[in-house]
Amino acid sequence: MKNESSVIRKATPLGGRVWVSLLVFGFMGQIAWMVENVYFATYIQKNITAAGWATSATVAASAVAAALATLFSAAWSDRVGRRRAFVCWGYLLWGASTAAFALFGNGQVALGVGTAVALFVFMDCVMSAIGSAANDAAFSAWITDVTDVSNRGTVDIVLSIMPIAALIVIFAGFDGMTTSGNWTGFFLVLGGLTAGAGLLGLWIFRDSPTLRPTPGGSYLREVLYAFRPQVIRENKMIYVCFLGMMFSGLAMQMWQPYMISLVEVTLGIENYIVPIGIVVLTSAVISVLAGKAMDKFGKEKLYTPVALMQVLGGLLAYSIKFLGHAMALLCVGGTLIMAGNLMMAGLFTASSRDYTPEGRAGASQSVKMVIYIMLPMVLSSIIDPWIIKAAAMEPTAEILAKYPSYAGSYLYPYELFLGAAVAALFIFFPARIVRRDAARLRLEKIREMGK
């Protein structure tokens, strides 16, 4: 037992090409997702309408489109035993579909609110479907292909901070386009960068040499493989991991689509880049340190404190309503929420990969997409408009003069942070189940590796 414990600290080297591919596609994929998750909502709120239903419509519809795309493409990539074409060509199309939002132009959209939102939602669904096929299905399955239990904690934590790195880069280099009203340039440039990653991948990206086509029955049967009752029973721990990620993701989705508007309008911090920048940078540093600790000491020791971080962070941010001190409490509370979410995603994702059967990495990602991505987005889209209306913070005349899209709507309330704290409480149940099995699984995988 002592020898087995000591070798846990020796991570399998991945090699330069794998690391470059991980960083390039992990980062550029999150650039595209940050545009979709944060800036699409901000565009709607500032240029079409601030009504909660409009943001919720695009969040929910794009989540369903992304989940369906992942289901079909994940099964396809497993079936043919290839990821490269899905990733590289997918990123090219993903970038092009992101750039297409430049057609909406700058400033207030001339179309009627209903028409403008419907068109925006349709285009968002197309973009999300392409991005999910390339990133959530093929790229995520490729990560499982090229990693093992000795290095997945570090890899998944590094990947989990990519949204933060992407947000920092967008804030530092491109957010000024949106504040000056140049949304056309913003969408064109960031869409072009995503497409550029696809082109680069044609030269640097390679499938795992151990990847083989997965034999099976009909294509539709393979699509539904991970949702069969027998498969769920045999691999129940994968689903428990994704359930934990779902509650953690819901805690983030309760406020992330409204993040910029919450800080800028509700909290009155016009230079929103400062507090959000502090939050994302601090969260990234904490998460990287956690990834190293995860691989060195085992994942099971981190589940409870990380879940507590998310709950406490939501409560601190909500307390701004009563205590004031918006800048300080937002920085501390926001950091705890975001760092906790990143770390929890790394913990549960690394654990789910350890449980994934050989040759079924793509199928596993389709389950992840439905439980971790679609469900939190759909649930938050139902809950958030109810919270916004229930809290009923009326915009002042000064706010309406500065932000005309808030006419007939409400300010996004502090209670969105409280909702995040409540959602995070449910993380403890799946975390306890995974934590109890973590040490056994880790030693089993080490033995299988023959180290």
Neighbours of 136 (CB within 10 A): 25
Query: Which CATH number belongs to the domain containing residue 49 in this structure?
Result: 1.20.1250.20
Q: Is 150 helix (H, G, I), strand (E, B) or coil?
A: coil
Q: Is 393 helix (H, G, I), strand (E, B) or coil?
A: strand
Mean pLDDT of 68-79: 81
Any domain includes 175: yes
Distance CA 21, CA 105 (A): 33
Query: Is pLDDT of 332 > 80?
Result: yes
Any domain includes 5: no
Any domain includes 9: no
Query: Is pLDDT of 7 > 60?
Result: no
Please provide the average confidence, as pLDDT, over all residues in the chain.
Answer: 83
Q: Is 127 helix (H, G, I), strand (E, B) or coil?
A: helix
Instruction: Please give the structure tokens belonging to residue 351.
Output: 């654990």
Query: Is pLDDT of 215 > 90?
Result: no
Tell me, letter by letter, the H, E, C secondary structure of 384-430. Answer: HHHHHHHHCECCCHHHHHHCHHHCCCCECCCHHHHHHHHHHHCCHHH
Give percent above pLDDT 70 in the chain: 87
Instruction: Please give the structure tokens belonging to residue 319.
Output: 């307390």
Residue that has been written with the tokens 């969260």 in this structure: 283
Any domain includes 257: yes
The whole domain housing 358 covers 15-204+219-449
Any domain includes 101: yes
Are the CB atoms for 154 and 99 separated by under 8 Å?
Answer: no
In 42-97, beta strands by DSSP E: none
- Chain centroid to CA 57: 18
Residue 10 backbone dihedrals phi, psi, to 5 degrees: -95, 105
pLDDT score recorded for residue 2: 43
**Helices then strands (H, E): number in the chain?**
24, 0
15 contact partners, CB below 8 Å, separation of at least 6: none
Q: Highest mean pLDDT range out of 5-19, 237-251, 280-294?
A: 237-251
Query: Is pLDDT of 37 > 70?
Result: yes
Any domain includes 3: no
Which residues share a beta bridge with 411? Answer: 393
Any domain includes 212: no
Q: What is the pTM of this model?
A: 0.74
Instruction: Please give the structure tokens belonging to residue 112.
Output: 């009627």
Q: Highest mean pLDDT range out of 257-261, 386-390, 420-424?
A: 420-424
Query: Is pLDDT of 134 > 70?
Result: yes
Are the CB atoms for 149 and 91 separated by under 8 Å?
Answer: no
Region of poorest pLDDT, from 77-86, 149-158, 359-368, 406-415: 359-368
Listed residue (277, 320, 341, 328) closest to 417, CA to CA: 320
The count of structural domains within the chain is: 1
Any domain includes 164: yes
